[in-house]
Structure 1
Amino acid sequence: MKVITISRKKLVQFLLGGLAFVFIFSIVSGPLIGGAGKLAQTVTGRNKMVPIYQVGLEKEDKRVSISFDACWGAEYTDDILNVLDKYGIKSTFFLVNIWLNDYPEIAKEISNKGHELGLHTVSHPHLNNLSEEEIKKELVENRALIEQLTGQKAYLFRPPFGEYSNKVLKVAESEGIVTIQWSIDSLDWVESKSKDEIVNRVLKDISSGDIVLFHNNGQHTAAAIVPIIEKLQADGYQIVPISELIYKENYYIDSQGTQRKKK
């Protein structure tokens, strides 16, 4: 039998290399955390948390969500609600307190028509610049006003400007709030975007589990969602509120923000 001898220096190098490999592998493929009412952490090596951008569904499960942020103005909101009524669609509206105070009756109408309401803060601030207490106040007071006006106990939350940090997500999680982003931005808020441009932008890449972002006061939004809804329904998609799209338990969120069912 041939005996192989290794110098102490090479042995140390070998062991250190092995430890480095294990450390890097644990960062890259370490466990993702998820569950009912919990946000998951990515494994970027910096323990960065991510919210839900989209949901990983089985191929035969053709569900998507369309959602609306309401911050300023309500000129086109009735038109949007009429379109949703016509096609039997229930959606999710994320509402800011400054909007709720200006349009409380419209908020009640949205709720009475069976649509889901979500949190969008009190004043639409840049949350990353606020303290934990200030973030909590933005969420708690937003939730309280929604419940006061409509009776809905909102628990889905969309950060203003799509901005978030571990601090923001942890505060939301501590309040039992699930943070929701979007996988497709219609850009309906851009004044130069035509109806056809909005339609094409949404339909070109949409697939099961996507969450589409619209705004309640986009000039072409009501007209654009008509062909979008018709095409999705013709292709066999079911358009549901976000709470009916996401998993409630036994899930994780990957580094791309896709919520997935644990095997």
Structure 2
Amino acid sequence: MAAALLIGMAVCAAGCLVFRAGNWVSVSAAQKELPIYSVERKDKVCALTFDAAWGNEDTQQLIDILKTENIQATFFVVGAWVDKYPESVKALSDAGHEVMNHSATHPHMPDLSTEQMTEEVQSCNEKIKAITGVQPTLFRPPYGDYNNAVISTMRSIGMYSIQWDVDSLDWRNPAPSEITKRVVENAQNGSIILFHNAAVNTPAALPSVIAGLKAKGFSFLPVSKLIYTENYTMDHTGRQIPNTVG
């Protein structure tokens, strides 16, 4: 046993050995970093989010629908989209929606160095702030693609990384009724729901999505007001758990 303990101590730099069922088992010391997928809430509240990376066919329609429903949403925009459609960025901000960061060029972030990740995000932040006057604090990785380095790099520059736990799959162009069914059936307290601008059937589906969620008792917050910024832990699914559930 003494020899086994010495072996265990020797490998602690790479991981840990634990004595389990009569054998020493290696357990990685590194903990997987996770973005925020959802939030533990007692109240029936969720967030509508839209990624804007390519087209701009329906941005004003989405603004008009959300205005009618008196809902503030969060739009994650790519820096190149900001360059191409600055008037839409201003319209989103003027309508009371959050305009947050979806990178400068929509790369696979894990393929980049820490310096390149930082440049991608800070460049996009500068473009958004120049139009809205607001410094973004939330980042959604393009393609939902991340690793430990992405999450820790974002944290080091003051950004919360945001995923989703309900995917409308609107980019596949399903019928509006399919989008509605998928979102309404899967939403739970603290859900972050993913849509895209320039998806063919999202404007047609959005009113019925909202009606269905309201019928289940949901109200809506932008992501920055849904998440916790201190005194929380993360479970293995990426769900924020506050020290005191609100």
Q: State the secondary structure of the residue aligned to 1:214.
A: strand
Distance, in Å, in 2 between the alignment partners of 1:235 and 1:202 is 12
Q: State the secondary structure of the residue aligned to 1:176.
A: coil
Higher gyration radius (CA): 1
Moved over 3 A (4+): 11-14
Letter of the 1:190 partner, please give it. R
Question: Greater share of strand residues, 1 or 2?
Answer: 2
Letter of the 1:119 partner, please give it. N
Q: State the secondary structure of the residue aligned to 2:135.
A: coil
Q: CA deviation at 1:46?
A: 3.6
Q: State the secondary structure of the residue aligned to 2:186.
A: coil
After TM superposition, the structure 1 = structure 2 runs for residues 1-263 of structure 1, keeping only pairs within 5 Å, are: 20-21=19-20, 46-58=30-42, 61-191=43-173, 193-263=174-244
**Percent identical across equivalent pairs?**
38
Letter of the 1:56 partner, please give it. E
Q: CA deviation at 1:166?
A: 0.8
Higher RCO (C-alpha under 8 Å, 6+ residues apart): 1
Q: CA deviation at 1:255?
A: 1.1
Q: State the secondary structure of the residue aligned to 1:50.
A: coil
5+ residue gaps, structure 1, are: 1-8, 28-43
1:256/1:149 CA distance change after superposition, 3 Å? same
* Superposition TM-score, scaled by structure 1 size: 0.83
5+ residue gaps, structure 2, are: 8-16
* Superposition TM-score, scaled by structure 2 size: 0.88
- Whether the 8 Å CA contact 2:93–2:132 is kept in 1: the answer is yes
Distance, in Å, in 2 between the alignment partners of 1:127 and 1:247 is 24
Report the count of equivalent residues: 232
Distance, in Å, in 2 between the alignment partners of 1:177 and 1:19 is 35
RMSD (Å) for aligned C-alpha atoms = 2.4
* Per-residue deviation, residues 102-156 of structure 1 (Å, max 9, x unmatched): 1000100000000011100000001111111000000111111100111111110
Q: Which residue matches 2:13? A: none
Distance, in Å, in 1 between the alignment partners of 2:241 and 2:178 is 31
